[in-house]
Amino acid sequence: MESRSSRSRTEAGESEKVKKGITMSKHYKIAVIPGDGTGPEVVAEGIKALKALSKRCGLQFEFEEFPLGGEQYLKKGTLLPEDVLEELKGTDAIYLGAIGHPEVKPGILERDILLKMRFALDLYINLRPVVLYPGVDTPLKNKGPEDIDFLVVRENTEGMYAGGGGFFKKGTADEVAIQESVNTRKGVERCVRFAFETCRKRNKKKRLTLCGKTNVLIYESDLWSRVFEEVRKSYPDVETNYQHVDALCMWMIKNPEQFDVIVTTNLFGDIITDLGAIIQGGLGIAAGGNINPEGTSMFEPMGGSAPKYTGLNVINPMAAIAAAQMMVDYLGEKEAAEIFQFAIKAVLKNHIKSLEAGKMGYGTKEVGDLVVKYIESRE
């Protein structure tokens, strides 16, 4: 995975300082969108961990908060204004809590904040690791951390999410509803290439699975298969196979150890990563990155805003903390990312009883404190 940081912008200044013998720590501008419900609580714990890490590793994070979400929409009627989008583009990464408010009709915030951000910032990859950490329960019988460790590369800007379609004779007995899947050659190819690159760099089983539905989706899956066949030629070191999405769901349960990297369309990726989340312990731990390899990327826990737990200090912040870890890794801070990963693993293995809200054996803030403790004490 290519990393991006503010280094290029500060390089000249830094080399001057290096010459003078002054070491300067790296500086990252992070846009923070705490969002709705429990979003602010979990993001606060992620930031706490990032601050501990910055002390420990000599990094500098500058956080800038954006109050996007249901609250702001209800008060001001704004969702994701153009000037905010421009500001977001100027940051090194975006850290998002959760979007979703019980008093806002479902669909509005999702489409006009989350999906709009994905489209407008061209976050064309949704990277979702499915990793079972030691000490975490999986509902899969006889499967452990050695069996569940793969990565889903979900296309994130096209397919069924493009929003094409329409009604005909709406509200009548003759009504027709059409929902179109848009797959561009460019969009498919950049996603497939990213998956091959990631699989190669990950350097584990070096196996890439294309997930589609060639037996029914004779246009969409056909394009994906042709592109996959073509791009594959440049990666002879990566073993490839194909699975229909329905069969792949079965295999994720029966035989998850076969997977290394899976690449798929936006909607299939959405569905299989919820299945992935549950086999890795649930939404309390599942995190993802919305990536634009050439621009600003966004990192988020996969779960929603869980409004009923708001303000109770019971929500599990580990998914948001794991999203922060992915962000550090993506920014290219490998040593810091490794320390962060160590701390997450230690807390899961040594402390947390259950990943469910209210059943962790600790409060939200205490879980964050534990992560900080391990970041500080790592040898």
From Mn ion, ligand IPM, none, which one binds at residue 114 (CB under 5 to 8 Å depending on kind)? Answer: ligand IPM
Q: Are the C-beta atoms of residues 59 and 111 closer than 8 Å to each other?
A: no
Shortest Cβ 334–ligand IPM spacing (Å): 27
Shortest Cβ 95–ligand IPM spacing (Å): 15
Q: Between 87 and 110, whose beta carbon lies closer to ligand IPM?
A: 110
Q: Determine the Cα–Cα distance for residues 179 and 166; give it in Å rounded to an integer.
A: 7
Q: Tell me the residue number closest to Mn ion, measured at CB.
A: 270
Q: Determine the Cα–Cα distance for residues 172 and 212; give it in Å rounded to an integer.
A: 34
From Mn ion, ligand IPM, none, which one binds at residue 71 (CB under 5 to 8 Å depending on kind)? Answer: none
Shortest Cβ 257–Mn ion spacing (Å): 24
Q: Determine the Cα–Cα distance for residues 265 and 252; give it in Å rounded to an integer.
A: 17
Q: Determine the Cα–Cα distance for residues 368 and 47; give it in Å rounded to an integer.
A: 9
Type of residue at 77: G
Q: Is the dihedral of CA 33, 94, 283, 271 positive or negative?
A: positive
| Total of residues contacting ligand IPM (CB under 6 A) | 4
Shortest Cβ 230–ligand IPM spacing (Å): 28
Q: Between 187 and 303, whose beta carbon lies closer to Mn ion?
A: 303
Q: Between 53 and 114, whose beta carbon lies closer to ligand IPM?
A: 114
- 270 touches Mn ion by CB under 5 A: yes
Q: Determine the Cα–Cα distance for residues 285 and 255; give it in Å rounded to an integer.
A: 21
Pick the closest to residue 91 from 293, 287, 298 (CA basis). Answer: 298
Stretch 252-271: interaction string toward ligand IPM, x if CB under 6 A: ------------------x-
Per the listing, tokens 């890795």 go with: 280
Strand 287-291 to 59-65 pairing: unpaired
Pick the closest to residue 37 from 335, 317, 305 (CA basis). Answer: 305
- 110 touches ligand IPM by CB under 6 A: yes
Q: Tell me the residue number closest to ligand IPM, measured at CB.
A: 110
One of 104, 114, 211, 375 touching ligand IPM (CB under 6 A): 114
Segment lying near ligand IPM (by CB under 6 A), choices 107-115, 194-202, 212-220, 253-261: 107-115
Shortest Cβ 332–ligand IPM spacing (Å): 25
Shortest Cβ 270–ligand IPM spacing (Å): 4
> % helix / strand / coil in the chain, to the nearest 5?
45, 20, 35
Shortest Cβ 171–ligand IPM spacing (Å): 26
Shortest Cβ 269–ligand IPM spacing (Å): 8
H/E run at residue 377: helix 364-377
From Mn ion, ligand IPM, none, which one binds at residue 147 (CB under 5 to 8 Å depending on kind)? Answer: none
- 155 touches Mn ion by CB under 5 A: no
Pick the closest to residue 97 from 125, 71, 124, 136 (CA basis). Answer: 71
CA angle 166–72–366, rounded 5-degree value: 115
From Mn ion, ligand IPM, none, which one binds at residue 110 (CB under 5 to 8 Å depending on kind)? Answer: ligand IPM
Q: Between 158 and 270, whose beta carbon lies closer to Mn ion?
A: 270
Segment lying near ligand IPM (by CB under 6 A), choices 15-23, 54-62, 64-72, 109-117: 109-117
- 14 touches ligand IPM by CB under 6 A: no
Contacts of residue 242, Cβ cutoff 8 Å, sequence gap at least 6: 209, 210, 211, 212, 214, 225, 228
Q: Which residues bind ligand IPM (CB under 6 A)?
A: 110, 114-115, 270
